[in-house]
């Protein structure tokens, strides 16, 4: 055993190699890393967030459903009303939805349009800013259109605010805004028609009794109408609530009469009777001679 101890001392005198510092650092780093909590060392989301992670199939299905819903919603908003109380008037008949392209190529003047007093009122709806932006379709532009025998074919540049905009483009934009105006309506406006362009929204269009059919029925709101050429005309009906309630409509007519606005009163009353033929109009609202 003593020999072994001597040999051990000799071996202890041999160079004592030590691991390099880099090796020590690597081992210590490994030890520290293993000592950290697993949640802290994990690079992924927290457990509750991982539970909320959806599979790719579910995400794809959700995207498809949302897309279809969005498309259907947009189509539903853009589609014309089905049914409803819209009266079948001459305007609607002459401005059938299938007719616009055909009507654009024709001279839209009709017998009525050549009549001297198809007064046209254009009152842009106050709440419809987009309709207001199309000023040429309002009262100021109609005389210019009517002055041309060719209808919309020749529009003087001095009057049209959208003189540089093709009629088709304007109609397209209108259609997009839900305020389209059919070409026959422009032709239906008499060249010499005295136009009234009230600045105040409640203004009433002076329409002669002889041509009430040119006016858009109250039920046709400007937001989704294909009625001939008069946009925003509502014959004293200021909103849909009044428009859909005869009593409120008659009340407004009575106010017009009381204010001495006979022309407006007559036009409105005629439209009212047309809209509600079976409704008994009070004698107080009888048309003055």
Partner 1 sequence: MLLYASGDAASFERLYARHRGGLYRYLTRQCSDRSAAEELFQEVWAGVIQSRLRYRPEARFATWLYTLAHNRLVDWYRHHGKVQWQPLDGEDNDHAGTAAPAARTVQPDVLAESRQLAQKLLELLAQLPPPQREAFLLHEEGGLSVEDIAAATGVAAETAKSRLRYALAKLRQGLADLR
Site residues for partner 1, window 29-48 (CB under 8 A)?
A: 30-32, 34-35
Among residues 18 and 289, whose Cβ is nearest to partner 1?
18
At a CB cut-off of 8 Å and minimum separation 6, what does 216 contact?
91, 222, 225, 227, 228, 230, 231, 233, 234
Place of tokens 């048309």: 287
Nearest approach, Cβ of 50 to partner 1 (angstroms)? 25
Segment interacting with partner 1, rule: CB under 8 A, options 3-11, 110-118, 155-163, 207-215: 3-11
Write out the binding residues for partner 1, residues 12-31 only, by CB under 8 A: 12-20, 23-24, 26-28, 30-31
The nearest distance, CB 60 to partner 1, in angstroms, is: 40
51 belongs to the binding site for partner 1 (CB under 8 A): no
Q: What are phi and psi of 28, to 5 degrees?
A: -65, -40
Number of residues in contact with partner 1, rule: CB under 8 A?
A: 28
Q: Which helix (H) or strand (E) holds 31?
A: helix 21-35
Q: How far is the C-alpha of 87 from the C-alpha of 89, rounded, in Å?
A: 6
Which is closer to partner 1, CB of 6 or CB of 102?
6
Please report, in angstroms and rounded to a whole number, the separation of the first and last CA atoms in the chain.
147
Identify the helix (H) or strand (E) that includes residue 121. strand 120-121
Neighbours of 273 (CB within 10 A): 14
Residue among 8 and 106 whose Cβ is closer to partner 1 = 8
Instruction: Tell me if 7 contacts partner 1 by CB under 8 A.
Output: yes
What's the min distance (Å) between Cβ of 52 and partner 1?
A: 31
Enumerate binding residues for partner 1 (CB under 8 A).
Answer: 3-20, 23-24, 26-28, 30-32, 34-35
């Amino acid at each position: 055993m003593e020999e072994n101890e001597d040999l051990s001392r000799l071996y202890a005198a041999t160079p004592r190699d030590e691991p390099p510092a880099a090796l020590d650092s690597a081992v210590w780093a490994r030890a520290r890393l293993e000592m950290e909590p697993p949640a802290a060392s994990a690079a992924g989301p927290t457990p509750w967030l991982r539970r909320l992670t959806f599979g790719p199939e579910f995400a794809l299905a959700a995207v498809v459903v949302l897309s279809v819903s969005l498309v259907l919603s947009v189509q539903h908003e853009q589609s014309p009303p089905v049914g409803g109380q819209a009266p079948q008037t001459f305007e609607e008949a002459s401005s059938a939805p299938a007719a616009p392209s055909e009507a654009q190529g024709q001279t839209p003047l009709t017998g009525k349009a050549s009549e001297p007093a198809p007064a046209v009122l254009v009152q842009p709806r106050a709440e419809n800013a987009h309709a207001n932006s199309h000023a040429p379709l309002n009262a100021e532009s109609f005389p210019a259109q009517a002055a041309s025998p060719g209808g919309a074919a020749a529009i003087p540049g001095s009057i049209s605010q959208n003189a540089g905009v093709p009629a088709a483009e304007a109609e397209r934009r209108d259609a997009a805004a839900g305020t389209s105006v059919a070409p026959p309506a422009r032709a239906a406006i008499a060249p010499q028609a005295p136009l009234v362009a009230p600045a105040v929204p409640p203004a009433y269009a002076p329409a002669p009794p002889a041509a009430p059919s040119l006016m858009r029925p109250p039920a046709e709101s400007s937001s989704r109408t294909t009625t001939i050429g008069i946009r925003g005309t509502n014959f004293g009906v200021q909103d849909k609530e009044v428009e859909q309630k005869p009593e409120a409509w008659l009340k407004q007519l009575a106010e017009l009469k009381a204010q001495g606005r006979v022309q407006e009163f007559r036009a409105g009353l005629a439209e009212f009777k047309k809209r509600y033929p079976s409704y008994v109009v009070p004698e107080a609202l009888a048309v003055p001679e």
